[in-house]
């Protein structure tokens, strides 16, 4: 469904991705793992259209989406929940969700999606008229994911959804992601919580300093890759 071919990207003078190639098939739950600065968020940003790679190509369902604007990419059904959640603090929960459904104009569909989001995240229904900025970190994360789901995305991208959350909430989030995966949502997940991630994903890529160092099923990665190094946050020397 999604294919990145040899993506090179940079921020100003800093090169962030130095030839990244990944793929995600329909219905898969794939993870990008790596330490801070490995280029995971940059990869998602490139797919979402926020950052334009200067080399390589990105294919979604066979067609190139390189160079498309973020709004065009959203309309294709790709939803990104950024690191830091990026909910709209001055908008109410309801308004946040309504905007999430922007690409879907049908009224009955909106109500159905809203109902499903409320099922997954009952707390959002409770806090429906509260400004997003007054929600706790965990609630904001739920709002961010709920908002992304309002558009019934074909590809859901999550950037460090467990970041900064209490352990009980972390469990909840991972269960939720696994649950979505079971429902058939295609998910690309960026995470630093290696252990929990490998428990639920189909495949994962290990990134380091802008390159893919390793990939495979959780099984393969556990036996062959230096997972411990990833745990300890010990980054390898950049290969030039």
8 Å CB contact between 47 and 73: yes
CA–CA dist 222, 37 (Å, integer)? 22
Out of 75, 112, 224, 236, the only residue in the binding site for another protein (CB under 8 A) is: 75
Among 6, 25, 64, 89, indicate the residue that binds another protein (CB under 8 A): 89
Residue 84: CB minimum distance to another protein, A: 10
* β-bridge partners, 59: 3, 64
Q: Which of residues 71 and 126 has its CB atom nearest to another protein in the complex?
A: 71
**83 near another protein, rule: CB under 8 A:** no
Of the ranges 79-87, 120-128, 199-207, 208-216, which one interacts with another protein (CB under 8 A)?
A: 79-87
- Is residue 52 part of the contact set for another protein (CB under 8 A)? yes
Return the residues of window 104-133 that contact another protein according to CB under 8 A.
131, 133
Transcribe 47-112 into DSSP letters.
HHTSS--SEEEEEETTEE-TT--HHHHHHTTEEEE-TT----TTSBHHHHHHHHTTT---HHHHHH
| Contacts with 12 (C-beta within 8 Å, 6 or more apart), sequence order | none
Rg value, the chain, Cα: 18
Nearer to another protein, 153 or 218 (CB): 153
Q: According to the binding rule CB under 8 A, does residue 102 interact with another protein?
A: yes
In the complex, the residues that contact another protein under the rule CB under 8 A are 11-13, 48-52, 69-71, 73-75, 79-80, 82, 86, 88-91, 95, 98-100, 102-103, 131, 133, 147, 151
């Amino acid at each position: 469904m999604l294919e990145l071919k040899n993506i090179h990207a940079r921020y100003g003078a800093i090169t962030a991705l130095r030839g990244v190639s990944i793929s995600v098939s329909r219905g898969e739950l794939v993870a990008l793992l790596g330490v801070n600065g490995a280029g995971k968020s940059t990869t998602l940003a490139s797919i979402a259209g926020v950052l334009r790679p200067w080399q390589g190509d990105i294919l979604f369902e066979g067609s190139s989406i390189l160079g498309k604007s973020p709004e065009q990419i959203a309309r294709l059904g790709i939803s990104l929940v950024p690191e830091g959640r990026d909910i709209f603090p001055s908008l109410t929960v309801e308004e946040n969700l309504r905007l999430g459904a922007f690409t879907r104009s049908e009224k009955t569909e909106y109500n159905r999606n809203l109902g499903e989001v409320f099922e997954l995240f009952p707390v959002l229904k409770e806090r429906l008229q509260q400004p997003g900025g007054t929600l706790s970190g965990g609630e904001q994360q739920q709002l961010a994911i709920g908002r992304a789901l309002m558009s019934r995305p074909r590809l859901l991208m999550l950037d460090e959804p467990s970041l900064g959350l209490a352990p009980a909430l972390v469990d909840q989030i991972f269960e939720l992601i696994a649950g979505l995966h079971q429902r058939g949502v295609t998910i690309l997940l960026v995470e630093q919580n290696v252990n929990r991630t490998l428990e639920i994903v189909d495949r994962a890529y290990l990134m380091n300093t802008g390159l893919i160092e390793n990939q495979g099923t959780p099984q393969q990665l556990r036996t062959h890759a230096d997972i411990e190094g990833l745990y300890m946050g010990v980054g390898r020397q950049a290969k030039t």
